[in-house]
Chain A
């Protein structure tokens, strides 16, 4: 692991470390602390979109074919999508696999 030397100078922080640019959390990749990732079985998926609606991140995006695909840059591996999928189309697999 490289040594953490800070993200930004204290002088450049807004007072109170406010975030003054709305919606900039998309720039912050939060998907690196996951132990399991969701794996979609398109055969079983009925494109109902419940995974998309219930993912707390939200990490799902709809593709041209109407499938909901997880963006692993943001997925934290909570497993909600897998638990909620009515068709059992999502399985959580260990990151190492």
Chain B
């Protein structure tokens, strides 16, 4: 087994990417992703990592270079945050539609304006419909482990994977992290072999026009591929557990077995929310927590199973979907419930925008609000929590 060492999470993530023996790294620095790509640049520069590092002029070019490199069969990596992700936007959809196994780490940060470098999920929520596999880490160890997993899944499914970690709260924190031995990583991750790739000896066309007679079929094929990736994702976590000893699943639960009120959250705030669950339980309130580790493909069955028998559910969103029916996660959850027989009351709150603190007490208040919603129907379909009036 590897050693447990104290490391800044960004550095550990970069080391994990290096352990995955990437061929091409293409990135443009942006806070709070910077330490990840800086460390990779160092590793390449000092000869520790045999990879091509392309210091591009923009994020648009960063993903373009990954697309081109991946199309030739190279293992690629990029990373970004907020405005950088938005600058990549048109290429995001191209990467998935062209079925290129690119891995991107998103150090989640709020979108401007107003300018903000702090954390929420407004950046990644803009790409939720893009056909990328999307996972969310809660802490440093998980962030690192999700990187190995991302390559495994991306290359088996021929789909790009975005690994999300909260900017600063996860990226810049020093944590004890177990880095696996290289041998084990190599065992988990055999060299990439693409059935179709750009090769002058065997020419193919990538990115051809999709006339109306074929565009629909192309979209259907991508949709089915993403759907089918679910099995691979779960299997890859099982294999990970066998080799590395840490268990992961699409949906994580905490004290949901007997919960009457549940809460859903993604990312690092779940750790604070768990403390709130403990405090509520001390007061005799049976509450529990659900955390989506896998966001795309949406883990419908895991989610419904995780719900247990809750009477009410508090969905805490980290992004606004202005004047829709909820936050991005809230909309998704309500829609999922509508297709099932389970109908808990759903209270959708938006919290922790741009690094605004959400404390244990806040989560406890949210739980109380959710209890109230059982008997008294809320007057809103979503609400921004903790806003100063």
Our pick among B98, B204, B213, B225 for the contact of A7 (Cβ within 8 Å) is B213
Measured in the bound complex, the distance between the Cα atoms of B205 and A22 in whole Å is 7
Chain B: interface size category = 20 to 34
- Annotate A11-31 by CB proximity to B: 1 below 8 A, 0 otherwise: 101111111101000000000
- B97/A18 in contact, CB under 8 A: no
- Enumerate B103-151 residues with CB–CB distance to A below 8 Å: none
Chain A residue contacts of B208, Cβ below 8 A: 17-19
Closest partner residue, chain A, to B158 (CB atom)? A15
- Enumerate B365-386 residues with CB–CB distance to A below 8 Å: none
Measured in the bound complex, the distance between the Cα atoms of B206 and A10 in whole Å is 17
A-B residue pairs in contact (CB < 8 Å), sample of 12: A7-B217, A10-B221, A10-B224, A13-B221, A15-B99, A16-B97, A16-B100, A17-B221, A18-B208, A20-B204, A22-B203, A22-B205
Our pick among A4, A13, A19 for the contact of B204 (Cβ within 8 Å) is A19
For the residues of A in contact with B, the DSSP-based class is: loop
- B206/A4 in contact, CB under 8 A: no
Distance in angstroms from A62 CB to nearest chain B CB is 25
Chain B residue contacts of A6, Cβ below 8 A: 213-214, 216-217
Chain B residue contacts of A11, Cβ below 8 A: 221
Chain A residue contacts of B203, Cβ below 8 A: 22
Measured in the bound complex, the distance between the Cα atoms of B206 and A42 in whole Å is 41
Chain A residue contacts of B205, Cβ below 8 A: 18-19, 22
Measured in the bound complex, the distance between the Cα atoms of B205 and A9 in whole Å is 19
Measured in the bound complex, the distance between the Cα atoms of B213 and A6 in whole Å is 4
Our pick among A4, A9, A13, A16 for the contact of B212 (Cβ within 8 Å) is A4
Measured in the bound complex, the distance between the Cα atoms of B205 and A8 in whole Å is 17
Distance in angstroms from A19 CB to nearest chain B CB is 4
Distance in angstroms from B159 CB to nearest chain A CB is 9
A18 and B196 contact, Cβ closer than 8 Å, known pairs A10-B220, A10-B224: yes
Closest partner residue, chain A, to B159 (CB atom)? A15
- A4/B224 in contact, CB under 8 A: no
Distance in angstroms from B70 CB to nearest chain A CB is 11
A8 and B214 contact, Cβ closer than 8 Å, known pairs A19-B204, A19-B205: yes
Measured in the bound complex, the distance between the Cα atoms of B100 and A15 in whole Å is 9
Our pick among A9, A10, A20 for the contact of B196 (Cβ within 8 Å) is A20
Chain B residue contacts of A8, Cβ below 8 A: 214, 217
Closest partner residue, chain B, to A21 (CB atom)? B204
- A16/B213 in contact, CB under 8 A: no
- Give A residues with C-beta under 8 Å from B: 4, 6-11, 13-20, 22
- A17/B225 in contact, CB under 8 A: no
Chain A residue contacts of B99, Cβ below 8 A: 15-16
Distance in angstroms from B140 CB to nearest chain A CB is 34
Distance in angstroms from A7 CB to nearest chain B CB is 4
Measured in the bound complex, the distance between the Cα atoms of B205 and A15 in whole Å is 12
Sort A-B residue pairs by CB-CB distance and give the 8 closest, nearest first.
A16-B99, A19-B205, A10-B217, A7-B213, A10-B220, A22-B203, A16-B98, A15-B99
Chain B residue contacts of A10, Cβ below 8 A: 216-218, 220-221, 224
Distance in angstroms from B216 CB to nearest chain A CB is 6
Closest partner residue, chain A, to B96 (CB atom)? A16
- A14/B217 in contact, CB under 8 A: no
- B217/A16 in contact, CB under 8 A: no
Chain B residue contacts of A13, Cβ below 8 A: 214, 217-218, 221
Chain B residue contacts of A17, Cβ below 8 A: 97, 208, 210, 214, 218, 221
Closest partner residue, chain A, to B218 (CB atom)? A17
- B210/A18 in contact, CB under 8 A: no
Chain B residue contacts of A20, Cβ below 8 A: 196, 204
Chain B residue contacts of A4, Cβ below 8 A: 212-213
Measured in the bound complex, the distance between the Cα atoms of B217 and A11 in whole Å is 8
Closest partner residue, chain A, to B198 (CB atom)? A18
Chain B residue contacts of A15, Cβ below 8 A: 99, 158, 195-196, 221, 225
Q: Which of A8, A13, A22 has the most CB of B within 10 A?
A: A13
Our pick among A9, A18, A19, A22 for the contact of B217 (Cβ within 8 Å) is A9
Measured in the bound complex, the distance between the Cα atoms of B211 and A4 in whole Å is 11
Measured in the bound complex, the distance between the Cα atoms of B220 and A9 in whole Å is 10
- B206/A7 in contact, CB under 8 A: no
Chain B residue contacts of A14, Cβ below 8 A: 196
Closest partner residue, chain A, to B208 (CB atom)? A19
Measured in the bound complex, the distance between the Cα atoms of B227 and A92 in whole Å is 51
- Enumerate B192-234 residues with CB–CB distance to A below 8 Å: 195-196, 203-206, 208, 210-214, 216-218, 220-221, 224-225
